Amino acid sequence: MAKNCIKEPEVKQTSEAGLADVVACQSDICFIDGDNCRLVYRGYNAIDLAMNSNFEEVAYLLWYGCLPRITEYKAFLAGFTGSMALPSNTVMILRMFPKSVTPMEVLRTAVSSLGHWDPDSGNTALDASLRKAQRLTLRMPLLIAAHQRLREGNEPINPIPGQGIAYNFLYTLKGKVPDPKIVEAFDMALILHADHELNASTFAARVTAATMADIYSCVTSAIGALKGPLHGGANMEVMQLIEEIGTPENAEPYILDKLENKVKIPGFGHRVYRCEDPRVAVLRDCAESISELAGEGKNYAITREIERVVLEKTKVYPNVDLYTASLYHAMGIPTELFTPIFAISRVVGWTSHILEQWSNNRLIRPRAEYTGPRDLVYSPIDQRTR
Ligand SMILES: CC(=O)SCCNC(=O)CCNC(=O)[C@H](O)C(C)(C)COP(=O)(O)OP(=O)(O)OC[C@H]1O[C@@H](n2cnc3c(N)ncnc32)[C@H](O)[C@@H]1OP(=O)(O)O
Ligand SMILES: O=C([O-])CC(=O)C(=O)O
């Protein structure tokens, strides 16, 4: 076996590690006031939007920079529902994945493949890029639902024209008309996840966009970054944690043990917020009401206990992923779809940032501080002592 020459780094983690607090670009899309717990999309409070708007309208806002007037909105929705169905080639690809492949991996591969059959493929004009962003937004939920149905031995079904993304995701997943209260809560969750400034996946999308790669490559990069448990993957880890804990009474000893062993608790902590993430309160309420509706209060009760113990012990606040776990579970959604659902929403933010990057582009290429050796002398292979 090869001997590893790479030494354990002696490196201290500086405050700049992970580019903390580094301002890497200017953006008109999303403002996070991390000290005062505010989240703003294009000037509008994201919580107000979640309470009063819908995901399609918020998508319009993020892409076009303003809320639509009624005629603009109708025209936008007509185009949106027109490009609904999945290309048959994509469905064929979905049928080919081995059973062991996770939905997030399927999403990554299938989104990349969608680019091959996009009618605007190769067209980099702004209107074509917007059409691609909208096709991605419509097709990603269909893709996730179709793959899940295939995994469960069912055939994919077509969405209902004229219905929104939240409704059609739930409909094409379950094959039955969803409860309006569940559609409403799901739509709110989509709004609340739609953008979050330069989070890791959006940054990945912008880095790829800055090389002038195509939009499908940018979104594929973003999906890869979202998958990790320090980012979007945390919502699935929260559900696993809830299941391991099992009962509200077990939450305290379980969490205290993890904290003593310096294990980070999924669903807590954030690079930007120094207070409670404003999205948490809305999602907490949604999780409570949908759990009640579904008659399964246990997961919600365990989550409340986890929150109490972590806050008391560490003063680290919950993030957007904490309550989505019990919320989506109460909606009857399988855990492995939680992170793909994050992507269904965040694709709007990613594509808005990609378009913004292209509107004033410069290659993103930072430097690394070199800490390795410098003046080693090459020796032939048979004369090496190490
Ligand atoms: C959609 C999203 O991406 S939201 C984030 C989703 N990710 C998670 O929920 C995973 C769990 N959380 C984490 O791993 C981190 O909080 C991150 C990755 C989100 C942010 O990381 P960073 O900004 O680098 O924070 P960092 O790790 O330096 O934490 C700062 C302090 O808070 C503590 N802390 C942060 N998160 C947690 C946590 N989840 N559980 C317990 N303590 C935590 C750290 O131990 C550290 O304490 P110290 O200063 O005493 O050493
Ligand atoms: O902003 C971040 O670092 C993480 C993120 O995507 C979010 O909280 O929605």
Mutate which of 320, 322, 348 for ligand 2 pocket (most atoms within 8 A of beta carbon): 320
- Asked whether 320 lines ligand 1 (CB < 6 A), one says yes
Q: Pick the residue whose CA is nearest to atom 4 on ligand 2.
A: 199
For residue 265, report the distance from its CA to the centre of ligand 1, in Å: 8
For residue 234, report the distance from its CA to the centre of ligand 1, in Å: 11
Nearest ligand to the CA atom of 307? 1
For residue 202, report the distance from its CA to the centre of ligand 2, in Å: 9
Predicted local distance difference test score (pLDDT) of residue 239: 98
Q: Tell me: the pLDDT tens digits for 93-147?
A: 999 999 899 999 999 999 999 999 899 988 989 999 999 999 999 999 999 999 9
Mutate which of 38, 191, 198, 199 for ligand 2 pocket (most atoms within 8 A of beta carbon): 199
Q: Give the residue-averaged pLDDT of 279-286.
A: 98
CB-based burial label for 277 (10 Å; 0-12, 13-18, 19+): buried
User: 193, 231, 270, 329: which one is catalytic?
Assistant: 270
87: confidence class by pLDDT, cuts 50, 70, 90:
confident
Q: What is the CB neighbour count within 10 angstroms for residue 315?
A: 7
Q: Give the residue-averaged pLDDT of 185-199.
A: 98
Active site residue 116: no
Cβ proximity of 56 and 164 under 8 Å:
yes
Q: Pick the residue whose CA is nearest to atom 2 on ligand 2.
A: 199
Predicted local distance difference test score (pLDDT) of residue 1: 44
Predicted local distance difference test score (pLDDT) of residue 80: 72
Q: Pick the residue whose CA is nearest to atom 6 on ligand 2.
A: 199
Predicted local distance difference test score (pLDDT) of residue 338: 98
386: confidence class by pLDDT, cuts 50, 70, 90:
confident
Nearest ligand to the CA atom of 233? 1
For residue 272, report the distance from its CA to the centre of ligand 2, in Å: 8
- Asked whether 338 lines ligand 1 (CB < 6 A), one says no
Mutate which of 39, 226, 264 for ligand 1 pocket (most atoms within 8 A of beta carbon): 264
3: confidence class by pLDDT, cuts 50, 70, 90:
low
Q: Tell me: the pLDDT tens digits for 231-274?
A: 999 999 999 999 999 999 999 999 999 999 999 999 999 999 99
Atom of ligand 1 nearest to the CA of 319: 4
Give this prediction's pTM: 0.96
- Backbone phi, then psi, for 61, in 5-degree steps? -55, -45
Active site residue 193: no
Residues with CB under 6 A from ligand 2: 196, 199, 271-272, 319-320
Residue 8 clears pLDDT 70, i.e. is over it: no
Q: Pick the residue whose CA is nearest to atom 1 on ligand 2.
A: 199
User: 147, 321, 329, 353: which one is catalytic?
Assistant: 321
Distance (Å, whole) CA 60 – CA 190: 14
13: confidence class by pLDDT, cuts 50, 70, 90:
low
Q: Give the residue-averaged pLDDT of 292-318.
A: 97
Predicted local distance difference test score (pLDDT) of residue 385: 86
Q: Give the residue-averaged pLDDT of 297-316.
A: 97
17: confidence class by pLDDT, cuts 50, 70, 90:
confident
Q: Tell me: the pLDDT tens digits for 43-60?
A: 999 999 999 999 999 999
For residue 270, report the distance from its CA to the centre of ligand 1, in Å: 6
Buried b / exposed e over 173-206, threshold 16 CB at 10 Å, is: bbeeebeeebbbbbbbbbbbbbbbbbbbbbbbbb
15: confidence class by pLDDT, cuts 50, 70, 90:
low
Q: Which domains does the chain have, with CATH numbers?
A: 234-330 (1.10.230.10)
